[in-house]
Amino acid sequence: MLALGAFFFPPTIIRQGIVAHFDMTPSGSRYIAGAASAGIYYGSAEEITLNGEISHDLVVAQDFGTRVSRISQQGSIVWSVELESRYNRVFSNGRDLFLLSNFTFNGEPRSEIRRLDFGTGQELGFWPVSFPISGLSISDTHLYVAAMQSFTGLGRVAISSNGNTDLVFEPIQLDKEFSNSRYLLEDGENLILMDTFGHQALVHRISDGTLLASRDFYYPTHVEKIGASEFLVLEEHANRFSEWNSATGAVEILLSCEHPLFNDASISPRSINEDENSTTTLRYFGTTSVCDDRVSDPTLYSPNGFDFSEGLAYIADTDNHRVLAYDVELGRIVGTIRGFNNPSKLVVVENGL
């Protein structure tokens, strides 16, 4: 079982700050001073191009998470927010938009959670957190938070307030520990965690922490539920998008890099890692992927996040610098948005927001 004492240290409020708020319209260029540290700019849209069709507006984190933008169904930028730190990620419960920021202050890792307005991108609430957060899930009533690595733990907090106050998390104990969950999903009764660096998807019952199902994946980063026991799973370094049945354990690969290591769902993460390390070359920042010379439509390349609505999976195909709209029933890509710089996370804007 997993304790969570770290969640009870009161955080110190440290604002890492929104640098600027952009409202991209073709109405000319002018500057309007905004509140606090944010400025609102009106100007021409950036180079975003749409091929095919998408059925929803999207909020996309790109530029390694330093820019968050709302993209219309027509492929134009509605608004964009720039942030000082990198690796900001967006989350939603279909009604509220949240922004998770991780940064370092005086050598200590911290996190901040913001609630943003879907329509304008303006900040509606702010919560400081005194430990680094790796994953976040939002239900209608609670934030579910997974702490990062050495702070490993899981907790939840009510989201009835508008923020700007210290958060005290109610710890949740689980049968199986996890190392670093970049994404978790709450479905009412269960929590589905992507244990990214533990190479597993884990399903736990919330009420007593019982482990109900698990399955090996290679750096899983995101999951969405599409049936009673059916899930869509994205694996960053397997360059793969699959459907997983947690009741039977079966996995069907929907999209993947065209390489034998990633086209066979039965190959273990350990085997992939060993084979990949023996066939990659070093760069100054690490290793290149074996998929480097195999990237072409419809291949995925280091995808980081997706969202699912009305039969469509919108995938942040990070190192291909694009967002894909994939029709799960038809089994094919129906739309592509290009012009991003490393899109990492995204959420669907539901109708009326």
Q: Which two tokens stand for residue 340?
A: 């991003």
Torsion of CA 345, 350, 352, 353, to 10 degrees: -30
Residue written as token pair 């991108």: 121
Q: Which pLDDT score, from 0 to 100, does residue 297 have?
A: 59
Q: Quote the CA–CA distance of 323 and 224 in Å, as a whole number.
A: 17
Instruction: State the pLDDT confidence band at 48, using cuts at 50, 70 and 90.
Output: confident
Predicted TM-score (pTM) of this structure: 0.84
Which helix (H) or strand (E) segment is 272 a member of?
helix 269-279
Q: Which pLDDT score, from 0 to 100, does residue 330 have?
A: 94
Q: Quote the CA–CA distance of 326 and 191 in Å, as a whole number.
A: 25
CATH of the domain at 271: 2.130.10.10
When divided into structural domains, the chain yields a total of 1
Please give the average per-residue pLDDT across 225-253, as a whole number. Answer: 95
Amino acid in the structure at residue 184: L
Q: What is the pLDDT of residues 302-332, one digit of tens each?
A: 899 999 999 999 999 988 888 999 999 999 9
Q: Which two tokens stand for residue 27?
A: 């109405």
Q: Is the pLDDT of residue 5 over 90?
A: no
Quote the domain boundaries for residue 36.
5-349
The contacts of residue 81 (CB under 8 Å, 6+ apart) are: 18, 20, 21, 22, 67, 68, 69, 99, 116, 121
Q: Name the least confident of 38-42, 159-163, 266-270, 292-296.
A: 38-42
Q: What is the pLDDT of residues 69-92, one digit of tens each?
A: 899 998 888 888 887 776 788 999
Beta bridge partners of 337: 50, 323
State how far the alpha carbon of 110 is from the alpha carbons of 12, 14, 107, 322, in Å. 9, 9, 9, 30
Q: Which two tokens stand for residue 128?
A: 């400081």
Instruction: State the pLDDT confidence band at 346, using cuts at 50, 70 and 90.
Output: very high
Q: Quote the CA–CA distance of 58 and 292 in Å, as a whole number.
A: 28
Per the model's pLDDT, the better-predicted residue between 228 and 104 turns out to be: 228
State how far the alpha carbon of 269 is from the alpha carbons of 46, 50, 168, 216, 262, in Å. 39, 35, 36, 7, 10
Q: Which pLDDT score, from 0 to 100, does residue 213 have?
A: 97
CA 256, 136, 48 angle in degrees (round to 5)? 55
Instruction: State the pLDDT confidence band at 296, using cuts at 50, 70 and 90.
Output: low
